[in-house]
Structure 1
Amino acid sequence: MKLDLAPRLSHRGRKRATALVAATALIGLAACSSGSSGDDDTSENDAASMSSFAADTTFKATEPVTFSMLWTDWPETPITDTWEVFDEIEERTNVSLDLTNIPFSDAVEKRSLLISSGDAPDIIPLIYTGDEQQFAASGAVLPLSDYEEHMPNFRKYVQEWDLGDMVDNLRQADGKYYMTPGLQEVSVPTFTLLIRKDIFDEVGAPVPETWDDLREGLEKIKAKYPDSTPLADGFEGASMLNYAAHAFGTVAGWGFGNGTFYDEDSGEFIYAGASDGYKDMVEYFHGLVEDGLLDTESFTAANDGSGTVTEKFAAGQVFAASGANGTVNDFSTALDATVGKGNYEVVQIAPPGGEAGQVVEPRNFWNGFMLTSEAKNHPNFIAMLQFLDWLYYSPEARDLLRWGVEGETYTKADGKYTLKPEFSLDAFNINPDAETDILKDLGYSNDVLAGSTESRALKESYNAPQYVEYIDSVLSTRTPRDPFPPAPLDEAELEQASLLATPLKDTVDTNTLRFILGERPLSEWDAYVGELESQNLQGYLDLINGAHQRYAEDNG
């Protein structure tokens, strides 16, 4: 029986009810060329497919087809009957999408329930690397590496953007990958440090290149503004620790992952939360708290960073904080009301470096998609693969999904995209006074699909100049950390690893905050490591390292 989690909507005809929005950081031709048409014979499932589909050409099914897709609804951008994005897709491709809608608030849980019950639609978008592991191990989703020959755009841009080695890290214990990710020509950390550069200039502090530089700048600001706690996070510490950890040679916060860190010297995975680099990071942030330089509420309050920290930034209580490109706009809008336009300068800077060097996170993929195991039985399965290859990876579709219809909603000349004056994109403060928002009113520039794969030119086309400068600064002054080697677990190992990893991470999270805030003295670090060891830390590491060694032996 079908789980009645949400309505299913068909999308046919111009301007019908559709859905396309989501939350808004990746595969080599050589590495992937071993893919074939798979173990399953799909020769009878090629109805409506194109016999000569190639990269950079428009996919158009030879007859009308309908594919089912899971869709996440965002409360800020509800579906309206004026959305035309799906109608435009159908007009170009002959594909109608039948959506199963789930709310953003519990999308991950509902997605898991649908897939596990066998009631999920064929196409599962908004999949980030790692999301697929549990479903791959259970056989609930298809090994897309078996079908890559039907995805010429994917192959082309993996090769052109030098992403091949990264795809190898997507491969599971059987040597196959089960999701195809969003490809990014350039990749920079989404979250980093935002500073009031005018205040740093005022106190004679340069833009910080290292975390020690930042401390010196914060000390000068504190001396000038003694009532301030000049540094804040706003994401319970998880954002700042994520981008700071790389400079200390570890992983933390949002980037903690499974808790392991590959040690090049030993050739083995170690546990990040028990490492010297992690301890150094904790000591650094504890020192900021001791000296009144870090807003402790921003490390404990459960908010999304857009409330309390923004208010403190506007009030002159905080002068440096975690944020993304959109946060610059949030801070600027708040400062307009308190300081006044033109009287401040908010700058998004490259994550500071440290003892591990001027290092940032590895190049990242963005969200891609999975196909449920039942999709291969669809009579139009090959057409489905070709359509998704066009939708996710072709420049034509990428422009469409971001900007709409060329000549109608935007123009493009010499590589420059210009939104026509009668249209706005309020999410990026473009033409804010125009009557029609291409996202809210037309469904373009949504985050379920629009941000998935981007060339550098497309990424820069809708972002403010300061973000383009941020991209330049990261690419020219920082080095992405090498990705860790693969250590894929089989189904039984995944279950065992989950049972071990969860209490270990809980111990790390709790004590990281206690150490930083001074609720537990750093003299008890060794005791804390002993607590991790008592939770079978070594057994967990043996599991990960065993998987790593097995994969290396099996794949050379």
Structure 2
Amino acid sequence: MQRKKWITIMLSSVMTAGLLQGCGGQEAAGGTTTGGESEAKTTDNFNPTGMPIVKEPIELTFFTGKAATNTNNFEETLVWKEYAKMSNIKVNFQLVPFESLTEKRNLALANGDYPDGFYTARMPASDLAKYGEQGVFLKLNDLIDQHAPNLKALLDKYPDLRKALTMPDGNIYSFPSFYSPEFLPMLIGTPLWIKQDWLDKLNLSEPKTTEEFYQYLKAVKETDLNGNGQMDEIPYSGTGIEPLIDQLKGAWGVGTRGLGHKFVDVDPETNKLRFFRLDPKYKEVLEYVHKLYAEGLIDKDIFTQKSSELYAKGGKDILGATINPNPKTQFNGENYFGLGALEGPHGDKLYTHIKVPMVWPGAFVITNNNKHPEATVRWIDYFFGDEGATFYFMGKEGVSYTQTPDGKLEFVDEIKNNPEGLTLDQALTKYVTWMGGSYPGYVQEKYFKGSETLPESIAVGQKAEPDRIKDLWYSFNFLQDETEFMQSTGSDIHTLIKEMEAKFITGAVPFSEWDSYVKKVENMGVDKYLKVYEAAYERYKNS
């Protein structure tokens, strides 16, 4: 163990020395230093505009996160084969399942065994700050200004995006996964769906309050709505209990700054930051969910169930309500529609299930092993413009999509109505690789045709719009000591809260113990937690 630690320190020292050695020489556009000869060769082969990006072909290798539903060979998909021809850059994608992504990404960074870049690798802001300062990730400020006109335009248009992408040292180290703030169905992502035909059979109207939602679930449990002669209907099912809480908490006026901030928001009465997970109103949210669970209205498998198991149940036509991108694309579910904000018992009505537009700050990172940073920046920036984004999400016109007379883009019938019964995501795998998310790019409704753009999803966005969060926070970036606190004490607080909330919901711990639970969490360091958050918030506001 000591020998491994010594080797790691020595490697780090050699790397740091190598970076410092070039400080007296010429500095590259991205803030890294390069030898004059290699820089000249790179510049000679580089085209600053147009295609191809480089005159003579080059190869890059990216550590790449992969969803289980995606293809196992990115290089053979239509988009990447075509882009290799266009750009003269062939990319080798080292695919790593999302399930083991964090572990393998951390290992690669720890031992220095990483390639030219990290693609769809879900790099957290804490790692961007840490490895950026160490020089492992390239500083992109100047590279973006000079060679990334598409991302630069977005940073200028959306100041909050620039704030969220800029680390505490003032530098940008990554390209994000960015959803247009105007594209609300995409920010919602996974609405709360219920079945219209079952509502009709029950002679119920669309639930508008938490009480009406409860009455619908109760009626589903008591009725053979699928007509198979069995009482096998599951009123609500999902993967984990947290998505349901995130959908409901706005009915009690908590979670007022969006899904990017799961523990702290702003109290509308005092306009001050609050740790809302201990708030009496949040306790009522948990009591409501406990009531649903205790009465058998929530799937007993909710805490351990995986997506594949949920979709298998959905395929049997037994789910009265669920949360996922869209039942139609996930398990060919019919007659589902999404709910808007539900009104709570005290008159609160806020649609809180809204993601940060910058979903992943570190969707794409360039490492100091990359010998072609300018070309790599141009390669990724293409997908942040309309032309590149249309290509990335839709593929090739006439092959994977067509354009209607009114200018709308549509996938070809083989994808929309696959003759082999494949879902939309499954049919797309030979053309594109964005399924599963976490990709670097800019998502707009006009060229993104995932489940979020289906009529049912658009309708959810329209319902949610009047009650959406008006002051949606992007992610905050923490200083090193703040990060250490959040990763130690903060993580311990998160873990305890998650464990105890599950116990309150299942009844393993009665709500009579709520006050003692609150004191225990507070004693772990909630005051310090809030001070750290306030400091990060002030930097965010004043950035």
Where in structure 2 are there 5+ consecutive unaligned residues? 1-27, 226-230
Q: Which runs of 5+ in 1 are unaligned?
A: 1-35, 334-343
Equivalent of 2:389 in 393, 398, 420: 398
| Corresponding residue number in structure 2 for 1:261 | 265
Cα distance in 1 for residues equivalent to 2:341 and 2:265: 20
- How much is the aligned-residue C-alpha RMSD, in angstroms? 3.6
8 Å CA contact retained: 1:244, 1:352: yes
TM-score by length of 2: 0.78
Structure 1, residues 74-123: CA drift from partner, whole Å, max 9, x if none? 45432288544322111111111133332333112111221233222222
Q: What is the correspondence of 1:23-422 to structure 2 with a 5 Å cutoff?
A: 39-40=31-32, 44=39, 46-51=43-48, 53=49, 60-76=53-69, 77-79=71-73, 83-128=77-122, 131-138=124-131, 139=133, 140-149=136-145, 150-157=147-154, 163-185=158-180, 186-188=183-185, 189-222=188-221, 224=223, 231-251=235-255, 255=259, 259-263=263-267, 268-290=272-294, 292=295, 294-300=297-303, 302-307=304-309, 310-311=312-313, 314=316, 316=318, 318-325=319-326, 327-332=327-332, 345-350=335-340, 352-354=342-344, 355-360=347-352, 361-367=354-360, 369-374=363-368, 378-390=370-382, 392-413=383-404, 414-420=406-412
Letter aligned with residue 148 of structure 2: M
Distance 1:131 1:117, change over 3 A: same
Distance 2:276 2:46 in 1: 48
CA offsets 1:305-331 (integer angstroms, 9 cap, x no match)? 442575378364x41122221x33455
Q: Secondary structure at the match of 2:391?
A: helix
CA distance in 2, matches of 1:491, 1:117: 21
In the other structure, the counterpart of 1:510 is 499
Report the AA paired with residue 404 of structure 1: G
3-state SS of 2:248 partner: helix
Q: Distance in 2 between matches of 1:461 and 1:492?
A: 40
Q: Secondary structure at the match of 2:64?
A: strand
Deviations 1:313-355 (A, max 9, x none): 8364x41122221x3345545xxxxxxxxxx622233353545
State the shift of 1:374 in Å: 0.7
- State the secondary structure of the residue aligned to 1:208: coil
* Alpha-carbon separation, structure 2, partners of 1:304 and 1:432: 25
| Structure 2 CA distance for partners of 1:233 and 1:431, relative to 1, 3 Å | same
Cα distance in 2 for residues equivalent to 1:216 and 1:163: 42
> Per the alignment, do residues 258 and 85 of structure 1 end up closer, same or farther by CA in structure 2, a change over 3 Å counting?
same
CA contact (8 A) 1:487 1:545 kept: no
Mapped partners of 1:65, 1:329: distance in 2: 38
Q: How many residues align?
A: 489
Q: Are the equivalent residues in 1 in contact too, given 2:30–2:138 (CA < 8 A)?
A: no
Q: Secondary structure at the match of 1:175?
A: coil
The answer on whether the counterparts of 1:68 and 1:98 sit within 8 Å (CA) in structure 2 is yes
**Per-residue deviation at 1:448?**
6.2
CA drift at 1:136: 1.5
Q: Matched residues in 1 for 2:191 and 2:475: separation?
A: 27
1:544 is the counterpart of 2:533: yes
- Mark the CA change 1:293 to 1:210 in structure 2 (over 3 Å): closer, same or farther: farther
Q: Which amino acid aligns with 2:95?
A: N
| AA matched with 1:456 | E
1:81–1:172 distance in 2 versus 1, CA, 3 Å: closer
Alpha carbons of structure 1 residues 289 and 166: separation in structure 2 relative to 1, 3 Å: same
Q: Is the 8 A contact 1:205 1:220 kept in 2?
A: no
Question: 1:496 — aligned with what?
Answer: 485
**Closer, same or farther: CA 458–210 of 1 in aligned 2, 3 Å:** farther
Structure (1/2) with the larger helix percentage: 2
Tell me the percent identity.
18
Does the aligned pair in 2 maintain the 1:288–1:294 contact within 8 Å?
Answer: yes
Once the two structures are TM-superposed, the CA of residue 379 in structure 1 deviates from its matched residue by 4.5
Change (3 A) 1:251 1:295: same
